[in-house]
Amino acid sequence: MPSVLFVCTGNLHRSPIAEAIFRKMIIDKGLSDTWLVSSAGTWAENGLPPTVEVTLVLGELGIRLENHQSRRITREIFDKNDLILVMSKNHKEALSAEFPEGAGKVFLLSEMVGKHVDIEDPIGGTLDDFRKTVVEIKDYLSNGFDAILQRATM
């Protein structure tokens, strides 16, 4: 079963947003029984719920983020995923340093559309900042959907 892991810093904003949106995309394509989609953080505190802002902006898209609890990436989580999509270059560097043998499966989410840009963390921002982050992530996932499927099944 192909698997994709989305990673940000605290696993409270960007990576849960990407996880929820990608999961909905997989469901909409009828692939939900054949894919494992999850998220984690490089510096996450385990067990925290998503923030109110994330819940609200995803709710505006009709997406519910149920049962999400933040978790820090571990060797076990890293190893069991085929593709790891990170939100910024520092996440890619951190994972490549911690798990050098698996560096080839770690990519910026933006790389799925041929870019090399960070997705800024909306932490401390307004609800509109969170909406902009959702739009950015959704665009990368939509435009990079085929590339994500291909990379995760290599």
Run of H or E residues at 36? strand 36-41
Main-chain dihedrals φ then ψ at residue 41, nearest 5 degrees? -130, 150
Radius of gyration for the alpha carbons in the chain, expressed in angstroms and rounded = 14
Among residues 8, 23, 71, 151, the one annotated as catalytic is 8
Would you call 8 a catalytic residue per the annotation?
A: yes
Among residues 72, 121, 129, 131, the one annotated as catalytic is 121
* Placement of tokens 């990170």 in the chain: 86
Among residues 14, 23, 71, 151, the one annotated as catalytic is 14
Q: How far apart are the C-alpha atoms of 64 and 90, rounded to whole Å?
A: 29
Would you call 14 a catalytic residue per the annotation?
A: yes
For 1, 102, 110, the CA distances from 141, given in Å and listed in that order, are 20, 22, 9
Would you call 146 a catalytic residue per the annotation?
A: no
The residues that are catalytic are 8, 14, 121
